[in-house]
C-alpha cells in the first residue's frame, strides 16, 4: 500500500521514531499522546506574543559568552596536582588548555576527565584517517552550506554556527562525510574563541522547510556527542527557528538524552532571530 506522506507525516513520524526509540531504549512519542496532549510535547505551540518575548528576553539575560562549569570542591593545590597528573598521562597528545577544560567540565574528577578527553582524542584520530572518506565528498557537502560558521558575532560576543536543516537530506552524503563536515564547521568556530570572556557559541538551527527526509536521527545522536563530548561547554544557546509540527518526534526522541542541557534550547520565530544580534550583524537568512 502506498501512503501519501504529504498528508500523513503526523502519523508516520511518531511511529517511525517510536521504533528508533525502542531500539535505543529511550522514551518515545505515542501518536495518541500527540493528539490528546499536544501541550506536553509540542515545543513551539501558539502562545501569547508577550509570553514569547518574555522567554526570549530571559534566555538573553541569563546567557553568557563565558563557559559555565560545575563547581568543584577541590583546593587550588589539588587542582594543580590533577592538571599535572593528566599532563603526564596524555603527554603531547593533549594540550594543557584541553586538560584544564576537561577537568573543569568534570569538576576536577581525574578519572572522568581522562575518560572524556580520551574519547575526544580518539575521535580526532578517527576523523584524521585519510581512508575514512574521500575529502572531495566532504568538500562537496560543505558547499551545500547546510551548516557553516557565520563570521559575525551575536550581541554577547559569541561566535555563531548556522544550520539550515532542510538542506540535510538523509542519504545524500555518507554519514562519515557529514561528521567531518560538522567537525570542520565546529573547529572554525571554536578556534576563534581565544579570549577568556568569549568561550561559547550561539547555534542557530533554521527549521523552515524541515520534513521527513531531513529527520536524521543517527546524525542527531552524533551531534549530542559533538556538543557534550567533543566540544563540552562550548554551546551557550541553541535556537530552533520556526519548528514545524513534523519536528516534534525528532525533538522528543533527542530531549531525554541531553537532560538538563535542554535548558540551552530556545524555540523562536524567524522574525525573533535578529534580537540576538546587533544591527548590521543579523544573518542574511533572517535580516
Q: State the pLDDT confidence band at 60, using cuts at 50, 70 and 90.
A: low
List, for residues 174-233, the tens digit of each pLDDT value: 999 999 999 999 999 999 999 999 999 999 999 999 999 999 999 999 999 999 999 999
pLDDT of residue 95: 97
pLDDT attached to residue 20: 38
pLDDT of residue 250: 86
Q: How confident is the model at residue 15 (pLDDT cuts 50, 70, 90)?
A: very low
**Amino acid 240: pLDDT:** 97
* Longest CA–CA separation in the chain, Å: 69
Torsion sign over Cα 26, 31, 32, 36: positive
Q: In this predicted model, which residue has the larger pLDDT, 159 or 23?
A: 159
What pLDDT sits at residue 36? Answer: 36
Size of the chain, expressed as the number of residues it contains: 287
**Residue 61 pLDDT:** 56
pLDDT(92) > 90: yes
Q: Per residue in 32-59, is it b (16+ CB within 10 Å) or e — as a string? A: eebeeeeeebbebeeeeeeebeeebeeb
Give strand pairing partners of 147. Answer: 163
Question: What is the average pLDDT value for the chain, to the nearest integer?
Answer: 84
Residues in Cβ contact with 30 at an 8 Å cutoff, skipping those fewer than 6 apart: 14, 18
204 bridge partner residues: 162, 239
CA–CA distance, 166 with 152 (Å, rounded to integer): 23
pLDDT over 70 percentage in the chain: 78
Cα(267)–Cα(205) distance, integer angstroms? 10
Res. 173 pLDDT band, cuts 50 70 90: very high
Give the SS3 label for residue 47: coil
Q: Give, as one character, the DSSP assignment of residue 163.
A: E
* CA 235 vs CA 94, 198, 201, 203, 231: distances in Å: 21, 12, 5, 7, 8
Q: Given this model, what pLDDT does residue 140 score? A: 98
Residue 106 CB neighbour total at 10 angstroms: 21
Predicted model pTM: 0.79
Q: Beta strand pairing status for 159-164 and 235-241?
A: unpaired
Rounded Cα distance between 21 and 14, Å, is 10
pLDDT in tens, 220-243: 999 999 999 999 999 999 999 999
Q: What is the per-residue pLDDT for 6?
A: 39
Residue-wise pLDDT for 62-87, tens only, equals 688 999 999 999 999 999 999 999 99
pLDDT at 248: 87
State the pLDDT at residue 59: 54
Q: How far is CA 27 from the centre of its chain?
A: 20
More confident residue, 132 or 22: 132
**DSSP H or E stretch at residue 34:** helix 31-36
What is the DSSP annotation of 208-274? TT--GGG--HHHHHHHHHIIIIISTT-EEEEEEES--GGGHHHHHHHHHHHGGGGGGEEEE-GGGGG
pLDDT tens for each residue of 132-153: 999 999 999 999 999 999 999 9
CA distance 26 to 42: 18
Residue 201, beta-bridge partner list = 159, 235
Q: Which stretch of DSSP H or E encloses residue 8?
A: helix 5-23
**Model confidence at 99: pLDDT above 80:** yes
Amino acid at each position: 500500500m502506498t501512503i501519501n506522506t504529504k498528508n500523513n507525516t503526523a502519523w508516520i513520524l511518531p511511529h517511525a521514531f517510536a521504533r528508533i526509540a525502542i531500539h535505543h531504549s529511550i522514551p518515545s512519542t505515542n501518536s495518541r499522546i500527540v493528539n490528546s496532549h499536544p501541550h506536553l510535547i509540542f515545543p513551539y505551540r501558539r502562545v501569547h506574543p508577550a509570553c514569547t518575548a518574555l522567554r526570549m528576553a530571559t534566555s538573553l539575560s541569563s546567557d553568557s559568552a563565558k563557559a559555565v562549569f560545575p563547581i568543584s570542591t577541590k583546593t587550588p593545590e589539588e587542582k594543580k596536582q590533577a592538571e599535572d597528573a593528566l599532563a603526564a598521562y596524555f603527554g603531547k597528545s593533549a594540550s594543557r588548555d584541553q586538560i584544564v577544560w576537561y577537568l573543569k567540565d568534570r569538576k576536577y574528577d581525574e578519572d572522568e576527565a581522562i575518560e572524556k578527553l580520551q574519547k575526544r582524542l580518539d575521535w580526532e584520530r578517527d576523523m584524521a584517517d585519510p581512508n575514512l572518506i574521500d575529502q572531495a565528498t566532504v568538500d562537496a557537502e560543505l558547499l551545500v552550506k547546510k551548516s557553516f560558521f557565520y563570521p559575525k558575532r551575536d550581541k554577547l560576543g559569541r561566535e555563531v554556527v548556522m544550520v539550515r536543516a532542510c538542506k540535510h537530506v538523509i542519504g545524500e552524503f555518507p554519514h562519515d562525510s557529514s561528521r567531518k563536515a560538522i567537525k570542520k564547521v565546529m573547529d572554525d568556530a571554536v578556534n576563534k574563541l581565544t579570549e577568556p570572556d568569549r568561550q561559547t557559541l550561539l547555534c542557530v538551527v533554521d527549521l523552515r522547510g524541515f520534513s521527513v527526509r531531513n529527520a536524521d536521527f543517527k546524525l542527531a545522536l552524533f551531534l549530542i556527542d559533538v556538543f557534550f563530548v567533543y566540544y563540552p561547554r562550548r554551546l551557550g544557546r541553541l535556537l530552533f527557528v520556526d519548528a514545524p509540527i513534523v519536528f516534534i518526534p525528532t525533538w522528543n526522541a533527542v530531549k531525554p538524552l541531553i537532560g538538563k542541557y535542554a535548558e540551552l534550547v530556545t524555540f523562536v520565530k524567524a522574525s525573533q532571530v535578529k534580537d540576538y544580534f546587533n544591527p548590521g550583524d543579523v544573518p542574511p537568512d533572517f535580516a
